[in-house]
Amino acid sequence: MSEIVKIIVEGKEFEFPLITGTEGEKAIDISKLRELTGLITLDIGYKNTGATTSAITFLDGEKGILQHRGYAIEDLAEHASFLEVSYLLLNGNLPNATEFQNFEHAISEHTLANEGLEAMFRAFPTGSHAMGQLSSMIAALGLYYPKALNPHRTEEAINRTTIRLMAKMPTICAMIFKKRNGHPMVYPRNSLGYVENYLNMTFGQVTKPDFEVDPILINAMNKLLILHADHEQNCSASTVRMVGSSQSNLYSSISAGISGLWGPLHGGANQEVLDMLEQIEVDGGNVQKWIDKAKDKNDTFRLMGFGHRVYKNFDPRAKIIKKACNEVLNKLGKSDPILDIAKKLEETALSDPYFIERKLFPNVDFYSGIIYRAMGFPPDFFTVLFSMGRLPGWISQWQEMRREKQPIARPRQIYTGQTYRVFVPMKDRP
């Protein structure tokens, strides 16, 4: 027997189905609420609102669980490659050897980005933020494939766009990196693996054809990309789905997702964390002073890389990244005073009642920037790397929304403005 929830409105009882997900989480299905009662719900920031059902990622914020298509993030980060995880997200299952080979081969065939895109760098102001460039470049990339703009594409055409985006994203990210340094582009080498190829385009030089990427960097980058690959209905994924729900094309939907991710409360936090740690260092390393600032309600400062809308115990990605951060720095033989400040900050915050009561823990962005910095990336590039990792997640979310033929997303509102007023011509206004 299906469960129901009763809602009483002005003495009249209405029944709504209670739906249960495969992991036991429950929701009241209010899709008929307005039709039956004339009411809508108000939930600013969607803190209690499920915008969709989804079979991609399961997250239990209280228990600190994150699973993609049923596989634990800990297992994926330990044993899989980023491309394997991408296949999993996009197709629902882990690939067998042949499926993986075909996927990898298809991607390696599409790594070149049209040279015309280079012209965009002449228009970007010097020093402009890498995320603004990335969002513009991905929107522009779509213009080279006008057929992909057709909302009634076949599955085959959508798969082609998926492969193109997966293949060209690292090339475009490397292009942004090279252009800001004023260096010539290193072209993709399709014999290299996905991550190695990206790092080769980024850190290789046209004048050094023998350059080889350090395997420590390849492993670290693989892990970081996996940890960012999807995170269910967050701000950027919801943006991708919302833009896509108007039947806008995949390129523009991903470009919008990149813009959503850019904000400091979302993916942009990784850059903010590093800026914050550097500020604390310059300020003499007085961690308590900054904790007090974060607690002060008259101060707008927040401890960046701390807190999460959904995780209220720990962020499983942060645990893995913290361990990886120590490993990478050790292996690279680098010590970073910023890491010591980060550890002290974490320790102090975790024993402070303000953070304990509000269930504020380090999130994925707290330690990732320290690894990126050790690898040689500048802070405003950190969120670009997050975007590269998140790409298969965004595409999977977009594809799921489309395959399920979900309607255009169109929230309602409660109007709080002026009620009707008689129009007064300008000559008669006081």
Number of residues that bind ligand CMC (CB under 6 A): 20
346 is a site residue for ligand CMC (CB under 6 A): no
In one-letter notation, the amino acid at residue 90 is L
From 69-77, 203-211, 338-346, 360-368, give the range in contact with ligand CMC by CB under 6 A. Answer: 360-368
CB of 300 to ligand CMC, least distance (A): 10
Q: Residue 90 or 273: which CB sits closer to ligand CMC?
A: 273
26 is a site residue for ligand CMC (CB under 6 A): no
Q: How far apart are CA 348 and CA 359, in angstroms?
A: 14
302 is a site residue for ligand CMC (CB under 6 A): yes
CA dihedral over 392, 75, 84, 324, signed as positive or negative:
positive
Which positions from 361 through 400 interact with ligand CMC, judged by CB under 6 A? 363-365
Q: Residue 188 or 307: which CB sits closer to ligand CMC?
A: 307
Q: Residue 221 or 364: which CB sits closer to ligand CMC?
A: 364
Given candidates 66, 199, 218, 304, which one binds ligand CMC under the rule CB under 6 A? 304
The label of the residue with tokens 């293949």 reads 167
CB of 363 to ligand CMC, least distance (A): 4
309 is a site residue for ligand CMC (CB under 6 A): yes
**Contact flags string 202-231 toward ligand CMC, x per CB under 6 A:** -----------------------------x
Q: Residue 192 or 384: which CB sits closer to ligand CMC?
A: 384
Q: How far apart are CA 209 and CA 218, in angstroms?
A: 18
- Nearest-CB residue to ligand CMC? 307
In one-letter notation, the amino acid at residue 403 is R
From 3-11, 114-122, 171-179, 304-312, give the range in contact with ligand CMC by CB under 6 A. Answer: 304-312
Q: Residue 95 or 267: which CB sits closer to ligand CMC?
A: 267
307 is a site residue for ligand CMC (CB under 6 A): yes
From 6-14, 207-215, 282-290, 300-308, give the range in contact with ligand CMC by CB under 6 A. Answer: 300-308
Catalytic residues: 308, 365
CB of 213 to ligand CMC, least distance (A): 27
For the chain, give the secondary structure using H, E and C. Answer: CCCEEEEEECCEEEEEEEEECCCCCEEECCCCHHHHHCCCCCCCCCCCCCCCCCCCEEEECCCCEEEECCEEHHHHHHHCCHHHHHHHHHHCCCCCHHHHHHHHHHHHCCCCCCHHHHHHHHHCCCCCCHHHHHHHHHHHHHHCCHHHHCCCCCHHHHHHHHHHHHHHHHHHHHHHHHHHHCCCCCCCCCCCCHHHHHHHHHHCECCECCCCCCHHHHHHHHHHHHHCCCCCCCHHHHHHHHHHCCCCCHHHHHHHHHHHHHCCCCCCHHHHHHHHHHHHHHCCCCHHHHHHHHHCCCCCCCCCCECCCCCCCCCHHHHHHHHHHHHHHHHCCCCCHHHHHHHHHHHHHHCCHHHHHCCCCECCHHHHHHHHHHHCCCHHHHHHHHHHHHHHHHHHHHHHHHHCCCCCCCCCCCCCCCCCCCCCCHHHCC
Backbone angles phi, psi at 362, to 5 degrees: -65, 140
Given candidates 168, 178, 180, 266, which one binds ligand CMC under the rule CB under 6 A? 266
Given candidates 4, 265, 279, 403, which one binds ligand CMC under the rule CB under 6 A? 265
If phi over 0 gives left and psi between -120 and 50 gives alpha, with beta otherwise, what is residue 285? Answer: left
Given candidates 176, 294, 342, 345, which one binds ligand CMC under the rule CB under 6 A? 294
Q: How far apart are CA 193 and CA 216, in angstroms?
A: 14
Q: Residue 110 or 309: which CB sits closer to ligand CMC?
A: 309
Q: Residue 175 or 242: which CB sits closer to ligand CMC?
A: 242
Given candidates 105, 147, 358, 403, which one binds ligand CMC under the rule CB under 6 A? 358
319 is a site residue for ligand CMC (CB under 6 A): no
CB of 216 to ligand CMC, least distance (A): 25
Contacting residues for 2 by C-beta, under 8 A, at least 6 apart: 17, 18
Q: Residue 197 or 270: which CB sits closer to ligand CMC?
A: 270
Q: Residue 16 or 82: which CB sits closer to ligand CMC?
A: 82
Given candidates 82, 103, 177, 306, which one binds ligand CMC under the rule CB under 6 A? 306
262 is a site residue for ligand CMC (CB under 6 A): no
* Chain residues that interact with ligand CMC, rule: CB under 6 A: 231, 234, 265-267, 269, 294, 302-309, 358, 360, 363-365
